[in-house]
Structure 1
Amino acid sequence: MSPGDLRVQYEELRRRWGPVAPVEILPGVAAWLLLDHQAALEVIWNERLFSSDARRWNAVTDGRLAADVPLLAMLGWRPAVSRLDLQEHRRQRQAVTDVLDHIDPRRLRRVVQQQADRLIDHWAPRASADLVADYTRPLAWAVFAHLLGFSPESIPALEALVNAATDTADDARYAEAELLEAVRRLLNARVTTPRADLASWMAHATTLTDVEIAHNLAQILYFGAPGTINWVGNALRLLLSDRHVNASVATGRLTPSDVLDQTLMDDPPVPNIAGRWATQDIMFAGHAIHAGDLLIPCLVAANTDPAIHGSGAVHTRTRAHLAWGTGAHGCPAKDMARLIAEAAMDVALRRLAELRPAIPDSVVATRQSLWCSGPVALPVVFSPTDPEQHTEALHELPAALPVPERTRIAEAAPGEAPKRWGWWNSMTGW
């Protein structure tokens, strides 16, 4: 389904229900879909009336939702920054932000550029590629695995687990448990041997518990790699399919960053924000919302709301989109994500001369779920070029941040018991 098809559906829902529409996200699982930009803002901003804490969900508290429903992998409660409110949210957000601040933007850009060049070196001479399978997917997973501290060999398993959870497959809850177990093993290793990665900094430079760290790192995997794959994929698709955009980039009227912004507006890689829950019975946008009802801000609909999108030229640069969220729950890693996406776009456009689609855009399949939207494949052709030999010149990616100087073990008070993994607590969900 194309972004245009979705806009038609959302317009039909707006005409029938107004800014908030009752929907089923699974058979028998009701929710309110927020179609209006202002309605989405009100729900995102107002923590007092609309909570991020999924333990409020009346479908669960009333026993109407099975404990193993696939949606709980993404909508269920977890002790992570995205699922907390008020002081607990601020405490974790500050810890996560402090750790992300240790990433050197210049080093991170170099990581992305070097991995992107290596990938292109493999297929540049053949003058054709699938920009998803051959570029955006391996690039995003290599960069995020490297940042967190996972080995390249672990990437296929991590990717499979994240896909199962974000696609809300039947084994989503099992995939979530396996992913958390993989993070736990990584953290155990970094407690004794810190390295230049986010896992080490989270373990040694924050006061978060082990379980909190594991869930926050898992959240980066859930949204970081898939979001980057789909964001860059959607931007490249726009560039390939829209002659106006292509010509504007070629003549310098638009930059790759502009194309990325337009994509966030028209075709965001994460179509929906993963839920808010009403804290009390209220009337909202003409509807009776009950305490514990699930509300889902639909970014695709809100970003294309005529009230902000207008009827003029659609390719004017704007950052009025809600792709990063906003307010207290705005994405703490948005600057890092933008840097990665911009570097990926820059390398692709620098290396791939006369880039053009190999198939019509109308037959490009889209991966659609509540939490992911991007091309399944993006076949292209371009002018053949010789490799630049990045593969041979570099054996491993450079570090994007330093090794923590002081360790948690060294700072522990004499006789203090180490943190223990109450791992069963993290898997109960409710």
Structure 2
Amino acid sequence: MQQHHTPGIPPGCPAHANPQLFGPEFGSDPEGQYDRLRAAGPSTAVDIAPGVEVELVTNYDAALYILQNPALFVRDARRWNALNQGRVPQDSPALPMMGYRPNALFSDGAAHARLRRAVTDALSTVDEYRLVRQTQQIADYLISRFAAEPLGQADLMADFAQPLPLLVFSDLFGCPPDIGDRVIVGISGIFEGTPGADEVLGAALMELIALKHREPGEDLTTRLMQHPAQLSDEEVLHQLVTLLSGGTAPLTGAIGTSTSLYLGEDWRADLPVEDAVTQTLWNYAPIANYAAHYPVRDEQLGDRVLRANDPVLISFAAANRDPKLSEHREQLSSKAHLAFGAGPHACPAKDPAFMITVTAVGALLNGLPDVELRVPFKELSWVPAPWSRSLVTVPLRFTPRQGPSAAVGSRGPAAGQQTPSQYGSSHPQPPVASSVASTPNQPAHHAAPSRKGGLFSRFLAWTKGE
């Protein structure tokens, strides 16, 4: 990849190495880093992980140009020069995110069209009203687990935003309790770097696929297996992994950030939850830097040369906040952001993702009407990782529920329950955030299923009143 050095700075100077999009320094000020990168032009070289260089596109128009030109910029990671030449560490955290998998995300042409059609057709069978009801019920369950805490405190991320998407997807996939527990353990472990998590997830999903051969159901797994594209079991497995990894972490980020914005010190009381979610997608894109493309030949972009088969990543986070875009952003559609990508590889589940986020945020605000942030929004910390934009911890306080009322929703949405969004009818006044010191947060770790079952088993038991 061609390097451009500032005049007077010797090439290879350690003090002027590539900017790093990982670690505490990046996590403490991602917006400042994006501002500096944009100043270098529409793209520049960065390290996405130790020893892993990519070209990062930070300009909105340049990002659209690449996303919408699949003939010039392909997605097949088997082209990756540095990886093929042994220059990427085998234990690099970039490999699980950028390495080739036989799914729609890493395919091109006819192979991509076949796999994507299977995914989009399967997703089209999801009943939107049922999805909203199920999300509401899952939110009620999670709130019930901490609503009666004597101190009236919880962590939005660990107690709500992280487990909710995992439970939603376990239900959408048609998992029985024991398999759902292992799917959650596996996907959680992958994002937490737990050794063996890949194997746990793969084994659980293969067991699910075998079950659906014997007992088909009204679920995404069965729809993928029965699609006319005739996916192999391995292909079904990898599409499920893509849906899980591409859905759970971004939804966690969107739910956490949208709720925090809504409860934050600068939020207007007359704006609905949908606006908080839309602002999150514009200003805090949950998938921050991703979508590796590989030029089929050397391409000029500004004063940079994008070398054939060197990875070009899209910074959705930086492109969405491109200062040149802000000049006419008011004239753009509210959906013109790149949080869901663009072009042939755009997220096929953007509408369900938006509904899940809005419903989850509304359920929390209604379930805990006086909930507030324990620290101002501007003082919250972001996860120091390049791939996703998510808050580390969001300390909440609320009035504890007493007695039977602690069981939010009575195993589901109560009759007449209001949601501050278009999926309900009410908009409660946001509480005033107070400046109280945050407590350190530990990431949510889901223990392996015990005799009482794991998270999904316990949720299903709760829905039955057990």
Name the counterpart of 1:30: 53
SS of alignment partner, residue 368 of structure 1: coil
Q: Which residue is equivalent to 1:210?
A: 233
Alpha-carbon separation, structure 2, partners of 1:354 and 1:396? 29
The residue that corresponds to 1:334 in the other structure is 350
Q: How big is the shift at 1:205?
A: 3.1
Alignment partner of 2:294 out of 274, 277, 280: 277
State whether structure 2 residue 124 is matched by structure 1 residue 101: yes
Tell me the CA shift for residue 40 of structure 1.
Answer: 0.8
In the alignment, residue 103 of structure 2 is paired with which amino acid?
Answer: A
Query: Whole-Å Cα distance in 2 between the matches of residues 170 and 356 of structure 1?
Result: 33
Distance 2:221 2:259 in 1: 31
2:147, 2:406 within 8 Å by CA — same for their partners in 1?
yes
CA distance in 1: counterparts of 2:329 and 2:356, whole angstroms? 30
Measure the CA separation in 2 of the matches of 1:165 and 1:278: 29
Give matches, 1:221-300, under 5 Å: 221-243=244-266, 245=267, 248=268, 250-251=269-270, 254-300=271-317
Instruction: Identify if the C-alpha distance between structure 1 residues 34 and 389 changes in structure 2 by more than 3 Å, giving closer, same or farther.
Output: closer
Greater helix percent: which structure? 1
Within-5 A mapping of 1:3-402: 5-15=29-39, 17-126=40-149, 127-154=152-179, 157-166=182-191, 169=193, 171=195, 174-206=196-228, 207-243=230-266, 245=267, 248=268, 250-251=269-270, 254-310=271-327, 318-361=334-377, 363-385=379-401, 386-387=405-406, 390=409
Alignment gaps of 5+ in structure 2: 1-23, 413-458
The one-letter code matched in structure 2 to 1:284 is L
Q: Aligned-pair distance for 1:228?
A: 1.0
* Alignment RMSD (CA, Å): 2.7
Runs of 5+ unmatched residues, structure 1: 399-430
Secondary structure of the residue that 2:291 maps to in structure 1? coil
* CA shift in 2, pair 1:132/1:68, >3 Å: closer
The structural deviation recorded for 1:395 is 5.3
- Cα deviation 1:192-230 (Å, max 9, x = unaligned): 111232112212234111111110100111121111111
Deviation (angstroms), 1:32 = 0.3
Partner of 1:421: none
Shift of 1:166: 4.3
**Which residue of the partner structure matches residue 7 of structure 2?**
none
Which whole-Å CA distance do the structure 2 matches of 1:40 and 1:131 have between them? Answer: 32
The answer as to whether partners of 2:27 and 2:382 remain within 8 angstroms in 1 is no
- 1:411 is matched with which residue? none
Query: What letter matches 1:354 in structure 2?
Result: D
SS in 1 for 2:213: helix
Deviations 1:401-425 (A, max 9, x none): xxxxxxxxxxxxxxxxxxxxxxxxx
1:366 partner SS: coil
Aligned residues of 1:73 and 1:176 also touching (Cα < 8 A): no
Q: Distance in 1 between matches of 2:295 and 2:368?
A: 49
Task: Evaluate the alpha carbon distance shift between residue 270 and residue 156 of structure 1 in structure 2; reply closer, same or farther with a 3 A threshold.
Answer: farther
Query: Would the aligned equivalents of 2:136 and 2:363 in 1 still touch at CA under 8 Å?
Result: yes
Aligned AA (2:322): D
Q: What SS does structure 2 have at the residue aligned with 1:24?
A: strand
In structure 2, relative to structure 1, the CA distance for the partners of 1:80 and 1:125 (3 Å cut) is: same
Write the distance in 2 (CA, Å) between the matches of 1:312 and 1:326. Answer: 17
Instruction: Give the structure 2 partner of residue 427 of structure 1.
Output: none
- Alignment partners' CA distance in 1, 2:303 and 2:45: 12
Q: Out of 381-390 and 40-49, give the one that drifted further.
A: 381-390
1:163 Cα offset (Å): 4.4
CA contact (8 A) 2:27 2:383 kept: no
Q: For 2:293 and 2:184, how far apart are their aligned partners in 1?
A: 27
- Greater CA drift, 202-211 or 230-239: 202-211
Q: Secondary structure at the match of 1:273?
A: strand
